[in-house]
Amino acid sequence: MADKDSAFKIRPATPDDVPLLLTMIRELAVYEKLDVCVVATVESLRASLFEGRRVAEAMIGDYEGRPAAFMLFFHNFSTFLGQPGIYLEDLYVRPEYRGKGLGRKMLQHLAKVAVERNCGRIEWAVLDWNEPAIKFYESLGATPMDDWRIFRVTGETLQTLAQR
C-alpha cells in the first residue's frame, strides 16, 4: 500500500470532471443544508470553468485513485494590498475521506498557487454553525473577519437593481 502522501494527488479539474464536480457540489450543499439552492448544471459549470472567459478554477483531490475532495476558487483583488487574491468558493472532502488530512493538503496546495501567482491573500466564508470547519481553519492560522458582513444580491433583486 502507498504511503499517505503518495495516496493523495491534487490535479486541475478537466471538462470531463464537470459531472463529478456537480455531484460533489450537491453533496456539499446537502451537508450545508442548502441543497435546494443548487441550480448549477453540467452545462453552466462547463461554460464557467472551461469555455470563453474562465471565471473560476477547480481542483480535484484523488485518494488512492478515487475522487475524494474538490475545491473551486477564483481571483479577486485587494485595493488595500494592491494585489490579487484568491477567493475559495468551496472546499469539500467527502465524508469517508475525512480525518486523513486531505482538507489541509488542499489548502496547502491553494496557498502554493496563491504564492506562485503573487496573491496577497486567500479568503473564504464558513457557515457560523460549522464548528468543525471553523476549528480546522483556525488551526491553520486563518483569522475570522468578525467585523465584516457578507451582502448578496441575487435573482429578481439583482435584475431589479440592474434596471434602476
- The active-site residue out of 63, 92, 97, 137 is 137
Report whether 126 contacts 138 (CB < 8 A): no
Rounded CA separation 159/164 (Å): 9
Report whether 17 contacts 59 (CB < 8 A): no
Report whether 106 contacts 91 (CB < 8 A): yes
Name the residue among 120, 123, 110, 132 with its Cα closest to residue 150.
123
Q: What is the CA radius of gyration of the chain?
A: 17
Name the residue among 119, 64, 63, 126 with its Cα closest to residue 91.
126
Active site residue 97: no
Rounded CA separation 12/157 (Å): 34
Kindly list the catalytic residues: 137
